[in-house]
Chain A
Amino acid sequence: MRTLLETRQATFSRAGEPVFEPVDLSLAGGQALVVRGTNGSGKTTLLRLLAGILRASAGTVERHAPVAFLGHLAAVKGDLSCRENLDFRRRFHATASGLSNSRALARVGLAGLGLRPARALSAGQKRRLGLACLLVAPAAIWLLDEPYASLDDDGCALVDALLIEQLGRDGSVVLSTHQRQPELKAAPNTLLVRHHVQGAG
Chain B
Amino acid sequence: MIAQMSALLKRDLRLALRHGGESLMPLIFLFAVIILVPLGVGPGPNLLASIAPGMVWVAALLASLLALEQLFRPDLEDGTLEQWWVGATSPMALVVTRLFSHWLITGVPVIVFAPLAAEMLYLPDRALGTLMLTLLIGTPILSLVGGLASALTLGTNRGSVLLSILVFPMVVPVLIFSTGGITAAAEGFSARAHLGLLAALLILAVTLVPLATTAALRLNIE
Q: Using a CB–CB distance below 8 Å, which chain A residues touch chain B?
A: 48, 51-55, 63, 66-69, 71-80, 84, 88, 91-94, 139
Q: Which of B14-22, B35-43, B175-183 lies at the interface with chain A?
A: B14-22
Residues of B within 8 A of A74 (CB): 78-79
Residues of A within 8 A of B172 (CB): none
Is B87 a contact partner of A63 (Cβ separation < 8 A)?
Answer: yes
Is B79 a contact partner of A73 (Cβ separation < 8 A)?
Answer: yes
Please report whether the interface of chain A is mostly helix, strand, loop or mixed according to DSSP.
Answer: loop
Is B3 a contact partner of A91 (Cβ separation < 8 A)?
Answer: yes
Residues of B within 8 A of A84 (CB): 11, 14
Please count the residue pairs between chain A and chain B whose beta carbons lie under 8 angstroms apart in the complex: 72
Interface residues on B, range: 20 to 34
Is A77 a contact partner of B80 (Cβ separation < 8 A)?
Answer: yes
Is B85 in the interface zone, CB < 8 Å from A?
yes
Choice from A69, A72, A78 contacting B86 with Cβ under 8 Å: A69
Is B190 in the interface zone, CB < 8 Å from A?
no
Residues of A within 8 A of B19 (CB): 79
Interface pairs (25), CB distance under 8 Å: A51-B86, A53-B82, A66-B87, A68-B87, A69-B86, A73-B77, A73-B78, A74-B78, A74-B79, A75-B80, A75-B82, A76-B78, A77-B80, A78-B78, A79-B15, A80-B11, A80-B14, A80-B15, A80-B18, A84-B11, A91-B7, A92-B4, A92-B7, A92-B8, A93-B4
Residues of B within 8 A of A79 (CB): 15, 18-19
Is B222 a contact partner of A77 (Cβ separation < 8 A)?
Answer: no
Is B200 in the interface zone, CB < 8 Å from A?
no
Residues of A within 8 A of B15 (CB): 77, 79-80
Closest residue of A by beta carbon distance from B4: A92
Q: How far is the CB of B90 from chain A (nearest CB, A)?
A: 12
Is B47 in the interface zone, CB < 8 Å from A?
no
